[in-house]
């Protein structure tokens, strides 16, 4: 299967989500409730199901953690490099910087399954689980240092982190899971991807009123171009196995998630500009993800 055909179904689902909301009259409340269902129930079920019985080892997971941390550190560093070079408005920069290292988990897990079935999805789930607390702390630090205490509690209670940690614990300790429960979790997880991608499409918006095209271009370039280059270098330097190098590259090429827009709004940032960066990055990633998958390790 060609790389383009591999990623096309996900972006068609995103497009359908946009049509449902912007053209067919599905309400904002419908998508808000659906996203809550995905966030608190369906996606945690998918993460646990993917990691609980995957062929993982503690030592392998640690190496993957180190590679993920190195990649995210590159993204954060490159995002902040815009300050001395572009001298942007501080609020605009703090709001959009997270788009350089946040990632869309829904797209990542869907494409990981298409690329390498269960093992790929399990590896992507571990990478995402490692990355969630890192990117949340980095984003909050950019917007308001005094919010750390409150945000730490939110990170600890994050259902993605809880589900990934629980899955790894069951995996490494070989804790048995009743077959019926495992089947139910699998079926919940199967619906998570579709519902999540529809919600991604519903929040796409290019009416951000950008005051600084240079800042927008910088953050999108870091997310979609420079981060994948860093992932290729890190995977090669750390001698990661082929599957992990592929998943790290895919992870690095993912567009920012809609949570960047939510956090910017909640913490007094420029939510409209952040939404535009996230949306434009998502649209452009339809071209950049196939490119990186085509030139990446095989």
pLDDT 10s digits, 267-288: 778 888 888 899 999 999 999 9
Q: What's the rounded Cα separation, in Å, for the pair 67 and 289?
A: 20
Per-residue pLDDT, 164: 86
Choose among 90, 43, 54: nearest CA to 170.
54
What percent of the chain has a predicted confidence (pLDDT) above 90? 55
* Mean model confidence pLDDT for the chain: 88
Q: Which contacts (CB < 8 Å, 24+ apart) does range 74-77 have?
A: 74/226, 74/227, 74/230, 74/234, 75/100, 75/101, 75/222, 75/223, 75/227, 75/230, 76/100, 76/101, 76/138
**In this predicted model, what pLDDT tens digit does every residue of 139-180 receive, in sequence order?**
877 775 434 445 556 566 778 888 888 998 999 899 999 999
**In this predicted model, what pLDDT tens digit does every residue of 92-143 receive, in sequence order?**
998 899 999 999 998 999 999 989 888 899 999 999 888 888 887 788 777 7
Q: Which residue has tokens 């068609």?
A: 12
**In this predicted model, what pLDDT tens digit does every residue of 232-244 receive, in sequence order?**
999 999 999 999 9
Residue 206 in this model has a pLDDT that exceeds 80: no
Q: Six-digit token pair at 122? A: 């399990």
Which domains does the chain possess?
3-203+211-293 (1.20.1530.20)
Per-residue pLDDT, 148: 46
CB 92 within 8 A of CB 215: yes
């Amino acid at each position: 299967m060609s790389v383009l055909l591999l990623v096309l179904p996900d972006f068609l689902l995103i497009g359908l989500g946009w049509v449902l909301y912007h053209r067919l009259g599905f309400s904002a409340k419908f998508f808000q409730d659906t996203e809550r269902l995905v966030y608190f129930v369906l996606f945690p079920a998918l993460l646990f199901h993917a990691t609980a019985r995957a062929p993982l080892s503690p030592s392998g997971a640690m190496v993957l953690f180190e590679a993920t941390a190195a990649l995210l550190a590159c993204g954060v560093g490159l995002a902040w490099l815009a300050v001395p070079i572009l001298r942007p408005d501080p609020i605009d920069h703090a709001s959009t910087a997270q788009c350089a290292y946040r990632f869309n988990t829904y797209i990542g897990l869907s494409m990981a399954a298409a690329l390498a079935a269960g093992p790929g999805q399990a590896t992507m789930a571990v990478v995402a689980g490692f990355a969630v607390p890192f990117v949340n702390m980095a984003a909050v630090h950019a917007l308001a240092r005094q919010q750390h205490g409150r945000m730490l509690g939110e990170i600890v209670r994050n259902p993605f982190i809880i589900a990934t940690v629980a899955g790894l614990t069951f995996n490494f300790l070989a804790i048995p899971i009743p077959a019926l429960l495992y089947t139910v979790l699998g079926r919940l997880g199967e619906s998570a991807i579709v519902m999540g991608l529809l919600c991604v499409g519903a929040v796409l918006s290019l009416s951000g009123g950008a005051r600084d095209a240079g800042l927008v271009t910088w953050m999108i370039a870091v997310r979609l171009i420079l981060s994948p280059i860093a992932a290729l270098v890190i995977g090669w330097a750390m001698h990661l196995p082929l599957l992990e190098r592929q998943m790290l590259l895919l992870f690095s090429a993912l567009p920012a998630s809609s949570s960047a827009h939510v956090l910017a709004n909640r913490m007094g940032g420029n939510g409209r500009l952040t939404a535009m960066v996230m949306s434009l990055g998502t649209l452009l990633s339809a071209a950049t993800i196939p490119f990186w998958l085509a030139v990446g390790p095989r």
